[in-house]
Chain A
């Protein structure tokens, strides 16, 4: 019986992230537009875009290899699995034993690897630029997030997200400067990985600055829909990751009742909205960086993560 219940909970979570991801993007877009005193697209516009793209035919370049056609599915599958492993409304997930935080990062890393390949596959100049920039950002962001994970795992004593979430929710955490540093590092990495404003502008097609949009320029139809959906899922994943590690309040315990699950779902939506509002305000109040400033920005994240680990090492060894 518990197995069935866990299975339902896991399935629910997978559906929930898939359904909420476009909504979060739409919410942030709407909010950003309103902060700039524009009307903005309606909240449900991302869903409409996805449906429209699904219906359209796929235009493939003549030189495109089979890899180019397969990659959208690989990316979508990898991102969806990764997103379904992050506890959202409750920490008792069926699949959580099978993969820890490092596996989630590896899934996202392989999705990015394939995306970079796709950017170079057709052989246009834009795709190449996008891929090289994406890989440059990734080469700095991935060590930073891995070290952040080490710092958090040293404190919580596990790399399992469910265990970390439960530990953070308990009173055993105490006051830890390492956690604050790790949070800032994680936020910087999340901004860089999702191509939000100081690093990349998600709303632009200006060739000098774009990173993510340049890689997917050749995609159309359902392929583009899948890639868009995976980038929305990725944003949701990072927000849920920050929420589950640093704002664990309200999430349902494993094997909790229906009421606790409902409370968990409501607080989860509240957390998403809070993070969305913060992100929109942050993005409207800051200008985009030059590409060559990005290594410094991400270097700060790497430095903070290293410092967090070192400080934890000191307080842990005393």
Chain B
């Protein structure tokens, strides 16, 4: 069938989807951040493997960026933020882990059906990466929708961005400039969101975004 190259790429990309599902499963913030670090680490491995089999040295840069920024700096910074906010012991009441998981599996199936249907002629590696990347993106959106804590929404956003990077590496030839600019825009988004977290906290004494709804008068 396919060679070992495809199998390893498939394993790594599949592990990324698995890590996304693990993100949905976690209800403690520390555990969530650790899984996010794992998510970014798997992404780095996957990108590095793509660089190796596509003979594309610039992808190694992407892998290094993913490893340093996303697997180390951002989780450590988020750790500090949640310690300073004093919410590191909080257990989030996620709305029905089971239901969310089923929805997540449904999204994975949906993205595979869609992607495999619309890309019949493409290279198998790219097709498979696109399918997995779409499911990682959708799962990131799902995390952002189901969580009420702003920090976990940030984690959802970051995991969504990991999915975008996976799609880009599979599609052979996203220019390095674009990739670096994406990485830095995410970093800047992270900083902005971090500042916002403190602002929300200052004003409402909580990072539960449900409070914002109450403030706007949408929920009584």
- Among candidates A180, A181, A303, A318, residue contacting B105 with C-beta atoms closer than 8 Å: A303
- Among candidates A180, A300, A304, A318, residue contacting B2 with C-beta atoms closer than 8 Å: A318
Contact: A181 with B7, CB < 8 Å? Answer: no
**C-alpha gap A177/B8 in the complex (Å):** 9
* B97 lies within 8 A of chain A by Cβ: yes
* B18 lies within 8 A of chain A by Cβ: yes
Per-residue interface assignment for chain A, residues 289 to 318, with 1 indicating a CB less than 8 Å from any chain B CB and 0 otherwise:
000000110011001101100110111011
A295-B124 in contact given A176-B7, A177-B10 (Cβ < 8 Å): no
* A257 lies within 8 A of chain B by Cβ: no
Interface centre among B2, B10, B98, B128 (most CB of A within 10 A): B10
A152 to chain B, nearest CB (A): 16
Interface centre among B8, B14, B15, B101 (most CB of A within 10 A): B14
* A175 lies within 8 A of chain B by Cβ: yes
Chain A residues whose CB sits within 8 angstroms of the CB of B15 once the complex forms: 177
Contact: B10 with A315, CB < 8 Å? Answer: yes
Contact: B112 with A313, CB < 8 Å? Answer: yes
Contact: A175 with B25, CB < 8 Å? Answer: no
Chain A residues whose CB sits within 8 angstroms of the CB of B2 once the complex forms: 315, 318
**C-alpha gap A178/B7 in the complex (Å):** 11
Chain A residues whose CB sits within 8 angstroms of the CB of B7 once the complex forms: 174-176, 315
Chain B contact residue count (CB 8 A cutoff): 28
- Among candidates A174, A180, A296, A315, residue contacting B128 with C-beta atoms closer than 8 Å: A315
* B116 lies within 8 A of chain A by Cβ: yes
Contact: A314 with B105, CB < 8 Å? Answer: no
Chain B residue nearest to A308 (CB atoms) is B14
Contact: A317 with B116, CB < 8 Å? Answer: yes
Per-residue interface assignment for chain B, residues 1 to 19, with 1 indicating a CB less than 8 Å from any chain A CB and 0 otherwise:
1101011101100110110
* B142 lies within 8 A of chain A by Cβ: no
Cross-chain pair count, CB within 8 angstroms: 63
**C-alpha gap A311/B111 in the complex (Å):** 12
B window 14-45: CB within 8 A of A: 14-15, 17-18, 21, 25
B22 to chain A, nearest CB (A): 9
A176-B11 in contact given A181-B18, A300-B25 (Cβ < 8 Å): yes
Chain A residue nearest to B124 (CB atoms) is A318
Chain A residue nearest to B116 (CB atoms) is A317
Chain B residue nearest to A303 (CB atoms) is B101
Interface centre among A174, A180, A311 (most CB of B within 10 A): A311
**C-alpha gap A299/B8 in the complex (Å):** 27
Contact: B4 with A174, CB < 8 Å? Answer: yes
**C-alpha gap A315/B4 in the complex (Å):** 12
* B136 lies within 8 A of chain A by Cβ: no
**C-alpha gap A285/B139 in the complex (Å):** 33
**C-alpha gap A68/B1 in the complex (Å):** 54
* B147 lies within 8 A of chain A by Cβ: no
**C-alpha gap A140/B5 in the complex (Å):** 36
Closest 7 A-B residue pairs measured CB to CB? A177-B14, A318-B124, A177-B11, A175-B7, A311-B14, A174-B7, A315-B10
Interface residues of A (CB under 8 A from B): 174-178, 180-181, 295-296, 299-300, 303-304, 306-307, 310-311, 313-315, 317-318
- 19 extra A-B contacts, CB within 8 A, seeds A307-B108, A310-B112, A315-B2: A174-B7, A175-B7, A177-B14, A178-B14, A180-B11, A181-B18, A295-B98, A296-B97, A299-B101, A303-B21, A303-B101, A307-B17, A310-B108, A310-B109, A311-B10, A311-B14, A314-B112, A315-B128, A318-B2
